[in-house]
Amino acid sequence: MKRIFTSLVVVLICVGSVLATRYFRWSVGDYSDGARDLLRSQGEPTAPFRILEYMDYQCVACRLANELLEDFMRKNPSKVFWQVRFFPLKGHHHTLKAAITADCASRHGKFWVFQQTLFDKQAEWGPRSTAEIGPLFDGYAQKSGLPAGEIQSCIDDPRTQETILTEKKEAKALGVRETPTFFINGKMIVGIQMFKEELISMQKELDKKK
Amino acid sequence: MKRFFVLALRVFLGAVFVVSGFSKLIEPFANFLAVIHSTRMATGLPAQLLAVGIPWAELILGAFLITGLWTRISSFSLWVLNTAFMAVITWALVSGLPMKECGCFGESFFSFSLRQALLFDALLWVFFYFLWLLDKPKHGVYTHR
């Protein structure tokens, strides 16, 4: 009897310490309609599904997630509001540079076109050397209709990189550890498999309402 | 001497699993669920059950092992879990799954590559073997200890 009581106390201590740590540690993913965020968003802000994505341009799963979400938005126009934030991973050598260039593209209204180019050409620029990457991105930027001179000053501005690293720091505080990580109406979704399952359940929910 | 050795093994193994379970549980649930998905061994509800069940089992059984409660059952269950982890990691290595990290300790404390995790788990397996061998109950498996 005494052993059962002690066991119960041990279990309660375990549960209590986990709940207390979680309570003080995490907050729910935050959406923002600030100017910077709106430059990297698409869809209606009042849409029933608000998706905040943390991504990395060298991550293959992010490319697949991008395709899935594009497809979902095509099938369900006006049902999704999609915001992108950067989470450049360690070990992906050109991903920060890609994020900086994409952020600069967003200031000229070309974010989505440039992002698509980055994903389409992922296999081409991923293995390149650091010296090759600048001219390659310049080429992509020009193809995306970006003014060459203006974008270069934005890329060289240390504040652009600072913005992205701050974004990553904020993401870590939300519990983001890898990419792609989504917050769909506040619910955290990590990885492509979970995202596929979530899109299926979102589709079912929309079909029910039709 | 034998009693001290058994106690040291129990506390060490228990602490490893307490830290492992706790570090997963304080991370967002979705992070460990993604690790389970990345092994490609379970999806949907089974994956969710594993993502909830494994960390709680590690934490509670590890705490039991440290405090000396149900030591035979706890050590055996954790040994089975440890063996299962080794099997999953071996499977991931053999089939070349794109897993950079084992997710063994959530991502709060340590980060192990798959090979490092397999080596560490093998060491734990040996420790469990010694614990099982040395910590035999006098009157059968489920006697009070």
Give the pLDDT confidence of B32-82 residue by residue, as tens digits: 999 999 888 888 899 999 999 999 999 999 999 999 999 999 999 999 999
Q: What is the DSSP letter of A88?
A: P
Of A62-76, A151-165, B6-20, minimum mean pLDDT range? A151-165
Q: What is the ipTM of this complex?
A: 0.82
Instruction: Taking residues A69-97, report their average pLDDT.
Output: 92
**CB distance A194–B22 less than 8 Å?**
no
Span A7-57, pLDDT tens digits: 999 999 999 999 999 888 765 555 565 666 778 999 988 999 999 999 999
pLDDT of residue B143: 44
**Does A201 contact chain B (CB < 8 Å)?**
no
Between CA B32 and CA B29 the distance in angstroms is 6
Read off the pLDDT band of B135 (50, 70, 90): confident
Instruction: Taking residues B77-105, report their average pLDDT.
Output: 86
pLDDT of residue A31: 56
Using alpha carbons, select from A71, A120, A119 the residue that is nearest to residue A95.
Answer: A119
**Predicted confidence (pLDDT) at residue A163 exceeds the cutoff of 80:** yes
Residue type, A209: K
pLDDT of residue B107: 57
**CB distance B26–A22 less than 8 Å?**
yes
**Predicted confidence (pLDDT) at residue B102 exceeds the cutoff of 70:** no
Q: Could you tell me which residues of chain B have a Cβ less than 8 Å from any Cβ in chain A? A: 22, 25-31, 33-34, 37-38, 43-44, 59-60, 63-64, 67, 69-70, 98, 100, 107, 144
Between CA B47 and CA B29 the distance in angstroms is 12
Between CA B82 and CA B79 the distance in angstroms is 5
DSSP string, A121-173: THHHHTTS-HHHHHHHHHHHHHHTT--HHHHHHHHH-HHHHHHHHHHHHHHHH
Using alpha carbons, select from A197, A182, A174 the residue that is nearest to residue A53.
Answer: A182
pLDDT of residue A68: 96
Between CA B103 and CA B101 the distance in angstroms is 6
Strands A49-55 and A80-86: parallel
